[in-house]
Amino acid sequence: MSEQKYTADSIQSLEGMEHVRLRPSMYIGDIGVRGLHHLVYEVVDNSIDEALAGHCDRIDVIIHENNSITVKDNGRGIPVDIHKKEGKSALEVVMTKIGAGGKFDKDSYKVSGGLHGVGVSCVNALSSSLMATVYRNNTIYRQEYSRGKALYPIKEIGSTEKRGTEVTFLPDDTIFNETVYNYETLSNRLRELSFLNKGVRICITDERVKDENGEFLSESFHSDGGLKEFVLFIDNNREPIMDVIHMEVPDGEIPVEVAMRYNTSYSENIHSYVNNINTHEGGTHLAGFRRALTRTLKKYADENIPTKEKDKVDITGDDFREGLTAVVSVKVMEPQFEGQTKTKLGNSEVSGAVDKVVGEMLTNFLEENPAQAKIIFEKVLLAAKARQAAKKAREMVQRKTPMGGSGLPGKLADCSSSNPEECEIYLVEGDSAGGTAKQGRDRHFQAIMPLRGKILNVEKAMLHKVFENEEIRNIYTALGVSVGTEEDAKALNLAKLRYHKIIIMCDADIDGAHISTLIMTFFFRYMKELIENGYLYIATPPLYLLKKGSKQQYAWNEKERERITQEMSTDGKGVAVQRYKGLGEMNAEQLWDTTMNPEFRTLRQVTIDNAVEADRIFSMLMGDEVPPRREFIEKNAVYANIDA
């Protein structure tokens, strides 16, 4: 290494690598759990590219005991020949030069790439050690690195029949706040990738966990059906009313794949991807899909549905998407990402490409499947009628809802500040706990709104029921955002939002968990932007009050209870334990001390890391099937703890 002469170019690249370590968030988003997992996605993306180019059909991801990661593929292997200009192997250039990724294969169709698409050299820079092994030319090659710097020139270590690339890296614990990998997070993403890239087998193994037979925890994902199977997977807990419609033009200038199916629910559930990245904020591909869907279905209805029936109702775009689950995936050479979280596709040419594919293929489907077309239209007509009923009901209810002089709900105890950035609203389960919270709060910045009984299950309710529901209307009014029903009115006007912390506060028992899930479901389905902006939180009241003599301490879980009991008295004797079953058992001062005082409380921020998974969980938790719900609640530590 020390003998190697650095050219001006390699000094520059060294600086690039230094910069990654200096400002890691610029490259991988953050240095928490997300960034940590991002490293894996970045390496996997390279193998996916190799698969998309048609040279690889298997990818293995292994989580080792020390939380290092191996990603292995059976592709052509990263080239190892000496790069004339750089004076080092192509492998070394790829591994140590920022932005060198696809340089050696200009013709390859390289579209995969993480949100930041920064390349494997970033992963190298952020790893305390990385080992690359290439199987190519019947030879095994190896090079190791530390914090992005090669430890020795590439060497041959043996011969082989295999082909492929293997990368093992250990994230640098001086960079990352969190260094423990989450199996579910990785396996969910790998499953998603297998649906999005059909034909590739992707396996995950967790060497930290053994089952009863001594085998490591592992799963293997492989999809021949692509997005068609993805829709079946997403809709696992919904009741379909038809077959999945699958539309695909894989070899056009902009490859497009779409799958869709209507179900008995009332929510619109469309997931979109660009180059395997979930575009939470949508964009031109989604716009193209929606436009083609509305136009094609309308045209078919005009030509095939008796006028009498449909003339009575006026059908809007929303009506065509009620109870629709769809996945839209496009591959774009030079994607432009816009929006608050850079997950909105901006390329204008993509809208027409998706529109064309969906327009043509959906038209064919409807013509070839008149029975299924009929089912769709019955559903759409019902949605349109319900929406019109809702509009009438809303106008009626608007006059009846009791409001304070300010136009705010009568039940809301507002705060005195009007600066949304410092204002918080507590949505409290029950009038009695609401009363306690009103006494305990800091009225300058904390508003309280009690919610009576169980809030409506929006997963099973039609739109007009949702907006007729008094609790839901109160939430809209208190927050200051408008009730949306007409097309695109669901897009919230966040500028009018009156509080930047919306805190759900429920009892620490299974009923409370259920109610907070109902409220979260409502926000997830109707005010997703609030979650995406990080405004939604869950309060965590303590489970126990422990007392000995004049000393008293709160405990939030079993472990804490045991530890504090030990600290108070070595044999645990003489410690009085009070189990809080509900918020109502605390007085105003206790509630403030433990759950509302910003200095001491713990708020859990609600986030959507994986929109597909969140969707599946909500449709499962709130659906009709009891066994999967019970299994989830039993498996989920948060809820399990609560009812312990």
CA-to-CA separations, 297 to 260, 322, 341, 353, 627, in angstroms, rounded: 13, 13, 32, 18, 37
Calculate ∠ Cα 632-634-639, nearest 5°. 90
Q: Which of 24, 35, 75, 323 binds ligand 0RA (CB under 6 A)?
A: 75
d(Cα 215, Cα 210) in Å, to the nearest integer? 5
Q: Which of 46, 223, 474, 595 binds ligand 0RA (CB under 6 A)?
A: 46
Report which residue type is found at 293: L
Q: How far is the CB of 94 from ligand 0RA (least distance, A)?
A: 7
CA-to-CA separations, 308 to 224, 381, 556, in angstroms, rounded: 44, 12, 62
Measured from the CB atom, the residue of 28 and 326 that comes closer to ligand 0RA is 28
Measured from the CB atom, the residue of 31 and 71 that comes closer to ligand 0RA is 71
Q: Which of 42, 60, 73, 319 binds ligand 0RA (CB under 6 A)?
A: 73
Clarify whether 511 is annotated catalytic: yes
d(Cα 556, Cα 560) in Å, to the nearest integer? 6
Q: How far is the CB of 623 from ligand 0RA (least distance, A)?
A: 40
In the three-class reduction of DSSP (H, G, I as helix; E, B as strand; rest coil), residue 441 is classed as coil
CA atoms within 13 A on the CB side of 626: 0
Binding residue count for ligand 0RA, defined by CB under 6 A: 11
Q: How far is the CB of 136 from ligand 0RA (least distance, A)?
A: 8
Structure tokens at 468: 């007729």
* Distant-in-sequence, close-in-space partners of 135: CB < 8 Å, separation ≥ 6: 77, 160, 162, 163, 164, 165, 166
Measured from the CB atom, the residue of 45 and 468 that comes closer to ligand 0RA is 45
Residue nearest to ligand 0RA (CB): 46
Handedness of CA 605, 610, 614, 615 (dihedral sign): positive
- Is 78 a binding residue for ligand 0RA by CB under 6 A? The answer is yes
Contact indicator for 259, 326 with CB cutoff of 8 Å: yes
The residue range among 43-51, 251-259, 432-440, 498-506 that interacts with ligand 0RA, by the rule CB under 6 A, is: 43-51
Quickly count: other Cβ atoms within 10 Å of residue 162's Cβ: 11
d(Cα 146, Cα 124) in Å, to the nearest integer? 8
Annotated catalytic residue within 422, 511, 560, 613: 511
Measured from the CB atom, the residue of 112 and 347 that comes closer to ligand 0RA is 112
Q: How far is the CB of 342 from ligand 0RA (least distance, A)?
A: 24
Clarify whether 81 is annotated catalytic: no
The residue range among 71-79, 240-248, 275-283, 597-605 that interacts with ligand 0RA, by the rule CB under 6 A, is: 71-79
In the three-class reduction of DSSP (H, G, I as helix; E, B as strand; rest coil), residue 628 is classed as helix
d(Cα 365, Cα 245) in Å, to the nearest integer? 8
Strands 501-505 and 536-539, by their bridges, are: parallel
Calculate ∠ Cα 297-301-302, nearest 5°. 120
Annotated catalytic residue within 509, 560, 593, 613: 509
Q: Which residue has the tokens 């200096």?
A: 22
The residue range among 24-32, 76-84, 322-330, 592-600 that interacts with ligand 0RA, by the rule CB under 6 A, is: 76-84
- Is 117 a binding residue for ligand 0RA by CB under 6 A? The answer is no
Clarify whether 486 is annotated catalytic: no
Restricted to residues 154-213, the positions that interact with ligand 0RA (CB under 6 A) are: 165
Annotated catalytic residue within 42, 50, 229, 429: 429
Measured from the CB atom, the residue of 80 and 373 that comes closer to ligand 0RA is 80
Clarify whether 429 is annotated catalytic: yes
Q: Which of 37, 40, 50, 492 binds ligand 0RA (CB under 6 A)?
A: 50
Q: Which of 105, 219, 511, 585 binds ligand 0RA (CB under 6 A)?
A: 105
Q: Which residues are catalytic?
A: 429, 507, 509, 511
The site for ligand 0RA (CB under 6 A) is made up of 46-47, 50, 73, 75-76, 78-79, 104-105, 165
